[in-house]
Amino acid sequence: MADDRFHVYDTTLRDGAQQEGLNLTVADKLAVARHLDGLGVGFIEGGWPGANPKDTEFFRRARTELDLKHAQLAAFGATRRAGVKAADDPLVAALRESGAPVVTLVAKSHDRHVELALRTTLQENLAMIRDTVSHLRAEGQRVFLDAEHFFDGYKSNPAYALEVIRTAAEAGADVIALCDTNGGMLPDELAEIVQDAVRTSARVGIHCHDDTGCAVANTLAAVKAGATHVQGCANGYGERSGNANLFTVVANLQLKRGFDLVPQESLAEMTRIAHAITEVTNVTPNSHAPYVGTSAFAHKAGLHASAIKVDPNLYQHIDPAQVGNDMRMLVSDMAGRASVELKGRELGYELTPEHTKALVERVKDLESRGFTFEAADASFELLLRDTVHGERRRHFEVESWRVIVERTKGGELVSEATVKLHAKGERIVATGEGNGPVNALDKAVRMALEKLYPELARLELVDFKVRILEGTHGSDAITRVLITSSDESTEWATVGVAENIIDASWQALEQAVTYGLLRAGRDCG
Amino acid sequence: MADDRFHVYDTTLRDGAQQEGLNLTVADKLAVARHLDGLGVGFIEGGWPGANPKDTEFFRRARTELDLKHAQLAAFGATRRAGVKAADDPLVAALRESGAPVVTLVAKSHDRHVELALRTTLQENLAMIRDTVSHLRAEGQRVFLDAEHFFDGYKSNPAYALEVIRTAAEAGADVIALCDTNGGMLPDELAEIVQDAVRTSARVGIHCHDDTGCAVANTLAAVKAGATHVQGCANGYGERSGNANLFTVVANLQLKRGFDLVPQESLAEMTRIAHAITEVTNVTPNSHAPYVGTSAFAHKAGLHASAIKVDPNLYQHIDPAQVGNDMRMLVSDMAGRASVELKGRELGYELTPEHTKALVERVKDLESRGFTFEAADASFELLLRDTVHGERRRHFEVESWRVIVERTKGGELVSEATVKLHAKGERIVATGEGNGPVNALDKAVRMALEKLYPELARLELVDFKVRILEGTHGSDAITRVLITSSDESTEWATVGVAENIIDASWQALEQAVTYGLLRAGRDCG
């Protein structure tokens, strides 16, 4: 459990999901939560149960499917409606029933918003806050309050904005997070207002948006002014220009201001985690992101190369290893070799220096062409075996394949695949039908091989991911397909890359079957 | 000519060009310079004549081909080499001969860098500065000095860093720009050091990088501390995490701090200029960029839509028209009637309450099945038209289509599509080949329709995105395809959802063509 004196509060799954084009399934949300927990954040805001069926489902599944090591889940929701009791408001009930240890209530703190958006009186808004906070506290949940539009509200009516803080704190809210909801603040003015809020003696948090390009700096300014709870989103996701990038905030505070927010060894996973989350969200990673971007420590060699060799710290603001990133100009053969050696040992192979060198070169070449082996362990192991054996060994060889997808005149959709294979001295032709081209290919391969390898009946294709790389040439772009397969006891992933999506899928599928047969104890000579 | 009391100094063509993957021709540089001049910046740093033949050429062509209204060109270069006279150094001569009214000299201000990278003495470095500045001044050029690694240098040896400033100012440099070359500073510490530099009574400028996500805030903090010259790059281009985004800096200072930096009517061109520059650089625009990103004023939350109708200023930090941007409402599953109404109005349709209700229901139903309209404006508009017309109107009707993807025995990969369509009373059968199934379908549709609709030749498929939804059933999962198309003047996106990836692609493609024909003025009766 993280230290309670300073909160790192992630809102990727709620406010980050407001980003244009970002649409997360419940499974995606669970996966992102696991990554954030791995980083060591203190709180993960999961969504708004009751208002959104998907979020209700998230909290339901989280109870059994999420085993968080550091983080606590927070359910987001509004204060009760005007004119009803908190205990009688079904949306408040949904927060209570979410099972989340923390509830973060959003409340208006801008007088004009109370009147125009909420259409109630300033007094009733305070009563809504008081009533909802104390009701949830009495029911045993910890309560934080998001003071929406706080800074604009303070500028419109400072006494009322501060009264919202006092009311919430007196009713039992542990943290009042001041939200720059429209994102228009600059650090100096924001810091002055935070100082005034801190004088209420309530515990103050900060929630910033990047509309002035200052979300991170605003967050740091608020911390300096006394805030002890920072909100943000993975990779700076969020509506409009995004929320404060939580990764940048954490790295700045921990590496440059001496805060002890996440375990050092988790910080060293930050780059990997940032990229893993982009795989889930399917948002192209920002290569220029501070700390975690692939360009963040990339140097054009030139003039300074020799000086960099003498003392790299003269040319970088931190040691990139602290956040799990690399200085890219130094193409570090050693790092590559060490990790390949380690990975080989993990898989049970003792690699000779020659094999290691050959494998590193092969991986580098393939990754430069769009392959990714971090997410495709089975493809890496096949590559390693090919390198060790000095040849490509398979249980079957492909002569040809063909896929037809057709929408008939009658409106019927047909997907059919034919494969021609050679295995154990036989030539086999088989056809499969499916609900799509990859499914049809999968069926055809099984049909072809199941008599020779009956264990294929246990093999299942459980996930299929497509990513378009360099998406500037339309359908000319390179396609990367990741396929996850399982044999009931374990899962493995394979990767294929090609201009043609069907070809990329076929590559991943062929490897998936090969790896499955190896796992079943079938050697391929 | 811009006011000299406060400088907006652009370094896109020199420091911005250090960005990984950014490669500008001389013609590109001239085009970017014209755009920057249109915005009204005071200085445009064109490159390093003498060190780089392309930059020498840029300054040569600029004399006849650039007719700048606001900006002055600056040539960037280093102080003379150790142990020679400035007058005898060929690189200094190249600066003199560039014809640029301003020369910006980079000089070391960090003691360790002088010793390790320059390999000379601290005293000789000061002599190099003094000699080069006074030589160029005597030859009639205005001189600015970039104090490289100034902040790290100040922390290493404050007396020496300040001595560099004094030496340059006394020799005749008009501005000493303090450079956070490694980009590691945070605003509070940076501001204190700038204050100390300002006490030398030299005129101080600021040059920041975004390695802590604080480049813009650092620039603002320096201005508050007394800097009267800000450097930055268009769209935040630059090495590693980029330079300070000059557009964000200018908008913040002018709209929120009352500076009069560029003409108001030029500021209102900022969004257009930012995008025009991305066309030259061929860097994908950052849709989340503050002020100028396409998402910068996009609202998703359904909750707020009704209040936005009452008073949009409650929900945006500035009027987007001030920077030439627009408020956009995103239609998403959180959307209610108000946002659909607003979106309809944005598209030029006045919807009746009945149509609005029907459309909201249709959107909700489709989004629950995996469609997403916030990223597919064109699909939404087609849906809106169908709702208003009470029927589905198209330029062509599809009888059937078929795609074949085949890996032949010889290893050749073939993708072929056949479509059978009815249009203008004709039945058309056409076949296309492509590098993948979607490309083949695209070719076949064009082949079928181009005789009847020659404007299709201008339509281009520019992006293709695939997302597998609920990826727990392997290839049984639902596939969502987003296609972005363009007709040279604008872009639009369409969405298709199906179990079968080819079917989903076909849906998006069919809509893309339909929308393209509508844009070209082809009504469909």
Instruction: Give DSSP secondary structure letters for B63-98.
Output: HHH---SS-EEEEEEEPPPTTS-GGG-HHHHHHHHT
Question: How much is the ipTM here?
Answer: 0.76
The answer to the question of residue A324 being in a domain is no
Residue type, B398: V
How far apart, in whole angstroms, are the C-alpha atoms of residue B208 and residue A239?
A: 26
How far apart, in whole angstroms, are the C-alpha atoms of residue B326 and residue B68?
A: 29
| 8 A C-beta contact, residue B519 and residue B492 | yes
Residue B465: CATH number of its domain = 3.30.160.270
Question: Chain B residue with minimal CA distance to A298?
Answer: B240
How far apart, in whole angstroms, are the C-alpha atoms of residue A427 and residue A398?
A: 10
- Other beta carbons less than 10 A from residue B220's beta carbon: 31
β-sheet bridge partners, residue A44: A10, A73
| 8 A C-beta contact, residue A58 and residue A30 | yes
Same-domain status, B60 and B188? yes
A525 in reach of chain B (CB within 8 A): no
Nearest CA-CA distance, residue A215 and chain B, Å = 9
- The per-residue pLDDT for A302 is 45
Question: Chain B residue with minimal CA distance to A307?
Answer: B117
Token pair, residue B277, equals: 């520059």
Identify all chain A residues contacting B471, using CB atoms and an 8 Å cutoff: 25, 27, 463-465
| Tens of pLDDT, residues B515-524 | 999 988 887 7
Identify all chain B residues contacting A50, using CB atoms and an 8 Å cutoff: none
B241 in reach of chain A (CB within 8 A): yes
Residue type, A36: L
Interface of B with A in 143-172 (CB under 8 A): 149, 152
The answer to the question of residue A49 being in a domain is yes
- The per-residue pLDDT for A51 is 87
For an interface test with A, give the residue of B462, B475, B491 to mutate (most A CBs within 10 A).
B475
Same-domain status, A117 and A58? yes
The answer to the question of residue B431 being in a domain is yes
Residue type, A363: V
Question: In terms of Cα–Cα distance, which of A189, A122, A105 is closest to A160?
Answer: A122
- Other beta carbons less than 10 A from residue B505's beta carbon: 28
Same-domain status, B210 and B324? no
- The per-residue pLDDT for B257 is 97
Report which of residues B250 and A329 the model is more confident about.
Answer: B250
| Tens of pLDDT, residues B160-204 | 999 999 999 999 999 999 999 999 999 999 999 999 999 999 999
Instruction: Give DSSP secondary structure letters for B258-292.
Output: ----S-HHHHTTHHHHHHHHHHHHTPPP-TT-TTT
The answer to the question of residue A132 being in a domain is yes
Sequence-ordered list of residues with C-beta below 8 angstroms from that of A138, at least 6 positions apart, any chain: none
The three-state DSSP-derived secondary structure of B206-264 is EECECCCCCHHHHHHHHHHCCCCEEEEEHHHCCCCCCECEHHHHHHHHHHHCCCCCCCH
How far apart, in whole angstroms, are the C-alpha atoms of residue A228 and residue A35?
A: 23
CA-to-CA separations, B170 to B5, B173, B179, B202, B367, in angstroms, rounded? 19, 7, 19, 9, 67
- The per-residue pLDDT for A335 is 42
Question: Chain B residue with minimal CA distance to A251?
Answer: B212
Residue B14: CATH number of its domain = 3.20.20.70
CA-to-CA separations, B84 to B52, B89, B113, B119, B167, in angstroms, rounded? 21, 7, 20, 15, 18
For an interface test with B, give the residue of A315, A407, A488 to mutate (most B CBs within 10 A).
A407
Identify all chain A residues contacting B183, using CB atoms and an 8 Å cutoff: 317
Report which of residues B74 and B374 the model is more confident about.
Answer: B74
How far apart, in whole angstroms, are the C-alpha atoms of residue A305 and residue B43?
A: 30
B477 in reach of chain A (CB within 8 A): yes
- The per-residue pLDDT for B19 is 85
- In this structure, of B10-14, B213-217, B471-475, the range with the lowest mean pLDDT score is B471-475
Same-domain status, A174 and A117? yes
Domain end residue (candidates: B219, B254, B281): B281
Domain end residue (candidates: A223, A241, A262): A262
With CB atoms and an 8 Å threshold, state whether B468 touches A464.
yes
* Average pLDDT for B338-351: 82
| Tens of pLDDT, residues B12-71 | 999 998 887 677 888 889 999 999 999 999 999 999 999 888 899 999 999 999 999 999
- Other beta carbons less than 10 A from residue B422's beta carbon: 12
Taking only the tens of pLDDT, chain A with its 525 residues reads 557 999 999 999 999 999 987 888 899 999 999 999 999 999 999 999 998 888 999 999 999 999 999 999 999 999 999 999 999 999 999 999 999 999 999 999 999 999 988 899 999 999 999 999 999 999 999 999 999 999 999 999 999 999 999 999 999 999 999 999 999 999 999 999 999 999 999 999 999 999 999 999 999 999 999 999 999 999 999 999 999 999 999 999 999 999 999 999 999 999 999 988 988 887 878 989 999 998 898 875 444 555 666 677 888 999 999 999 987 653 333 346 766 777 787 788 888 999 988 888 888 778 767 787 766 889 989 999 999 888 888 899 999 999 999 999 999 999 999 999 999 999 999 999 999 999 999 999 999 999 999 999 999 888 888 877 764 334 457 888 989 898 877 788 899 999 999 999 999 999 999 999 998 888 775
Angle between helices B501-519 and A437-449 (to 10 degrees): 160
Sequence-ordered list of residues with C-beta below 8 angstroms from that of A309, at least 6 positions apart, any chain: none
Q: Helix or strand or coil: residue A12?
A: coil
Identify all chain A residues contacting B318, using CB atoms and an 8 Å cutoff: 184
According to DSSP, residue B117 is labeled: I
Same-domain status, A47 and A83? yes
Report which of residues B337 and A517 the model is more confident about.
Answer: A517
According to DSSP, residue B177 is labeled: E
| Tens of pLDDT, residues B487-518 | 877 889 899 999 999 999 999 999 999 999 99
With CB atoms and an 8 Å threshold, state whether A403 touches B402.
no
How far apart, in whole angstroms, are the C-alpha atoms of residue B401 and residue B420?
A: 6
| 8 A C-beta contact, residue B33 and residue B281 | no
How far apart, in whole angstroms, are the C-alpha atoms of residue A494 and residue A508?
A: 5
The answer to the question of residue A313 being in a domain is no
| 8 A C-beta contact, residue B355 and residue B361 | no
With CB atoms and an 8 Å threshold, state whether B217 touches A413.
no
Token pair, residue A288, equals: 């220029």
How far apart, in whole angstroms, are the C-alpha atoms of residue A222 and residue B170?
A: 40
Domain end residue (candidates: A212, A246, A262): A262
Pairing of strands B7-10, B229-232: parallel
Residue B475: pLDDT band by 50, 70, 90 thresholds?
Answer: very low
- In this structure, of A92-106, B149-163, B223-237, B470-484, the range with the lowest mean pLDDT score is B470-484
| 8 A C-beta contact, residue B445 and residue B513 | yes
Residue type, B182: N
Same-domain status, B244 and B362? no
With CB atoms and an 8 Å threshold, state whether A241 touches B288.
yes
The answer to the question of residue B384 being in a domain is no
Nearest CA-CA distance, residue B262 and chain A, Å = 18
B299 in reach of chain A (CB within 8 A): yes
- In this structure, of A134-138, A418-422, B306-310, B374-378, the range with the lowest mean pLDDT score is B306-310
How far apart, in whole angstroms, are the C-alpha atoms of residue A417 and residue B41?
A: 61
* Average pLDDT for B394-405: 95
Same-domain status, A115 and A233? yes
How far apart, in whole angstroms, are the C-alpha atoms of residue A297 and residue B486?
A: 35
B289 in reach of chain A (CB within 8 A): yes
With CB atoms and an 8 Å threshold, state whether B436 touches A502.
yes
Same-domain status, B222 and B141? yes
Token pair, residue B253, equals: 């200072």
Average pLDDT, chain B: 91
β-sheet bridge partners, residue A79: none
Instruction: Give DSSP secondary structure letters for A349-391.
Output: ----HHHHHHHHHHHHHHHHTT--STT-HHHHHHHHHHHHHTS
Same-domain status, A96 and A50? yes
B409: exposed, middle or buried (C-beta count within 10 Å: 0-12, 13-18, 19+)? exposed
Q: Which domain holds residue B306?
A: 298-368
Identify all chain A residues contacting B437, using CB atoms and an 8 Å cutoff: 405, 437, 500-502
Cα diameter, chain B:
87
| 8 A C-beta contact, residue A102 and residue A14 | no
Share of chain B above pLDDT 90, in %: 70
- The per-residue pLDDT for A374 is 67
Is pLDDT above 50 for B279? yes
Q: CA gyration radius for chain A?
A: 27
CA-to-CA separations, A517 to A277, A395, A450, A513, A514, in angstroms, rounded? 31, 8, 11, 6, 5
- The per-residue pLDDT for B349 is 87
Same-domain status, A244 and A345? no
How far apart, in whole angstroms, are the C-alpha atoms of residue A312 and residue A304?
A: 10
Residue type, B432: G
With CB atoms and an 8 Å threshold, state whether B405 touches A403.
yes
Q: CA gyration radius for chain B?
A: 29
Same-domain status, A256 and A121? yes
With CB atoms and an 8 Å threshold, state whether B372 touches A21.
yes
Is pLDDT above 80 for B96? yes
Nearest CA-CA distance, residue A446 and chain B, Å = 14
Same-domain status, A135 and A221? yes
The answer to the question of residue B386 being in a domain is no
- Domains held by chain B: number: 3
Residue A446: CATH number of its domain = 3.30.160
- The per-residue pLDDT for A474 is 43
A242 in reach of chain B (CB within 8 A): yes
Identify all chain A residues contacting B415, using CB atoms and an 8 Å cutoff: 500, 502
The answer to the question of residue A129 being in a domain is yes
* Average pLDDT for B291-306: 78
